[in-house]
Every structure is written in structure tokens, then in C-alpha cells.
Structure 1
Amino acid sequence: MAACFRFGYPDCFLFKQLAPKNALEMTLLSLLVSVIAATYEYLRAYRERLFEQQHSTFSLPLLPPTHNNVITPNYLLKRIFKREHLMQTALQVCQVFIGYFLMLVAMTFNIWLFISVILGSGFGYFLFANLDAKLITAVNHYN
């Protein structure tokens, strides 16, 4: 398979059944890819915000408060199965899945789909990059 960009409709878009056959289908597919790329940026910003919020509030210390600092299995289980950690894990899985999906879209070497990934990612960053905890706290403080 030649690794050069192509115009037109891809023969296969991840699955043979999803290959666009006309301009309308290609446009809709490009819009869908852009939305998915923007969603990836949203997830990235949201995970960052959650991380900041979780670490700005009180959380379990890294080591249990004992004299000899022995970490017990019970303590480790508490840290691993905290709701916040489980949420971050689920969001990480979603982010990796979407990231690989976008990589496969780019690897179709269709110029329109490639541009859709880039534009969607840029638009998502433009919209969601400022979603950090400090900004939201400041906005909520003045409302």
C-alpha cells in the first residue's frame, strides 16, 4: 500500500461497509471525524481538570500514618478503588480508544479525513483548553 495522500472517496473507512460513496456521505463522515477529534480534546481537558480538583482537595496520603511506614494491602486497595481513580481510569480508556481511532482515520491517507482530524482537534483545543479548575472556580466565585 502506497503511503501518499489521496483525494476522493476511500475504498474502506475502518470497515468496508462504512466507505462513503458520494460527496454527501464523505462530508458527513468528515464532520463526524471532526466531532470525534474535538471530543478527544474535551476528554483530555476534562481529565486534566479532574486531576487538578482531586489533588487540590484533601486526599489519602501517599503513605499510611504509621511509625514504620509499612504499606498494607488494605491501604493500597483503598487508594486504587477510590471513585476518583476509577473515574480517571475509565476516562483514560476512552481517551486511548478515541486516540487510536483517530490515528487509524489519519492512516487511511485520505486528505479530507486527515484535514478533518486536524481541524477537529484544533477546534476542540480552542474550545476546551481553558477548562482548568482555577478558571472555573474563579468564574463560579463571581456568579
Structure 2
Amino acid sequence: MNQVMELHHDHDHDHDHDHGGCGSSHKMVFHAGVCQEILFEGWMTTTALELFGSAVAIFLAAVLYEGLKYYREALHARATSATGDSQVNITKNECGSGGNCGGTAVVKYTMLSSGHIIQTIMHFIQSTASYILMLVFMTYNVWLCLALVLGLALGYFFFGWRKSNVVDVNEHCQ
């Protein structure tokens, strides 16, 4: 029994030493603490400078995420204007009884077209980034959450004005 208690005590001591005495409890309420495990065991902040650096990285990741969303839409829009690609079928979208939608087009890629493969890869990257950013927000650390939403806002400011539609039907976290 004493041997089990000693082993447990040694494990707790090593655990505290590895994380600068912060422990590893995950708080399920918003908090402004400096000690924070982010996404995986190796990304642990123990000082305000480490937390600030992590917040900057998350801020930049959020800006890039918004850029990726815009880039996917821009590639799709470029495909709608393509006329010579034999693997992309562009058809007039039929709306209402008159069938006139102001000249909108629907892009229908073939399954093995390069455009569809690129969009699939980018969708995979966008989905993964979206869920990773959601997990960052779920740390409930006020500073990381603030960095994330400010990064999304700045990314939208940089890229959103170029978008042809305001509602993103491909958004994964909202």
C-alpha cells in the first residue's frame, strides 16, 4: 500500500514539474489563467509570454482560415468563368417559373476532374482547421478565445469584402 502511495506521489510531482507547477485540469468555464494546455500535451503555457505567443499564433491561424475560405470560393468562381475545361460542366441555374436568375451558373465538376480534387483537398484542410480552431475556443481561456475571434474578424475584414455571397453554406463551426 505504501509503495502504491509513493508511486502515485512521484507521478504527481513529475507531472507538476513538467508543466511548471500548473497542473493539467481542464476548466469548463471561461477563465483568464496563464497556465493552459492547448490542443495537445506538448503545447503548454506556463508564463504570460508563452500565452501571448500562443495567442498570436492562434490569431494568425484564424486570419489564414478566413483566407482559405475566400480562396476556395475564388477557385470556384474562376471555374464558373472557365469555358474551355472539358471536365467541368457549366449549366444555367433554373430559378422560378421564368428560369431567369440573373445569369447565375452552377459548376458541376466531374468526379475525377482536377478542380474537384483540389476542392476536395481544400475542403479537408478547411474542415480540419475549423475543428482545430473550435477546440482552441473550447479551452475557455479568455485570451485565446479573444485572439481567435479577433483573428476571424480581421480575416473577414481582409477577405470578406471580396466574397460574392455573404452566407457561407460551407461553414463548419457556425
Does 1:60 find its partner at 2:85?
no
Q: What number of residue pairs does the alignment pair up?
A: 118
Amino acid at match of 1:42: G
Residue by residue over 1:89-138, the C-alpha shift from the partner in whole angstroms, topping out at 9 and shown as x without a partner, is 111011001100100000000000000110000000001113458xxxxx
Q: Report runs of 4+ in structure 1 exceeding 6 Å deviation.
A: none
Q: Does structure 1 retain, via aligned residues, the 8 Å contact 2:65–2:152?
A: yes
Is 1:26 the equivalent of 2:55? no
Higher RCO, 1 vs 2 (CA within 8 Å, ≥6 residues apart):
1
Report sequence identity in percent.
Answer: 31
TM-score with structure 2 setting the length:
0.62
- Tell me the TM-score normalised to structure 1 length: 0.75
SS of 1:4's equivalent in the other structure is coil
CA contact (8 A) 2:55 2:143 kept: yes
Q: Is the 1:40–1:98 contact (alpha carbons within 8 Å) kept by the matching residues of 2?
A: yes
Residue of structure 1 equivalent to 2:167: none
Structure 1: gaps (5+ residues): 63-77, 134-143
Structure number with bigger Rg: 2
Q: 1:17 aligns with which of 21, 35, 42?
A: 42
Correspondence 1:97 to 2:128: yes
Instruction: Give the deviation of 1:6 after TM superposition.
Output: 0.5
- Secondary structure of 2:152's counterpart equals helix
How far 1:56 moved relative to its partner?
2.0
Q: Does 1:113 align with 2:138?
A: no
Unaligned runs of 5+ in 2: 1-25, 92-108, 165-174
Query: 1:125 and 2:150 equivalent?
Result: no
Structure 1 position 41 matched with structure 2 position 66: yes
| Residue aligning to 1:66 | none
Closer/same/farther in 2, CA of residues 97 and 127 from structure 1, 3 Å limit: same
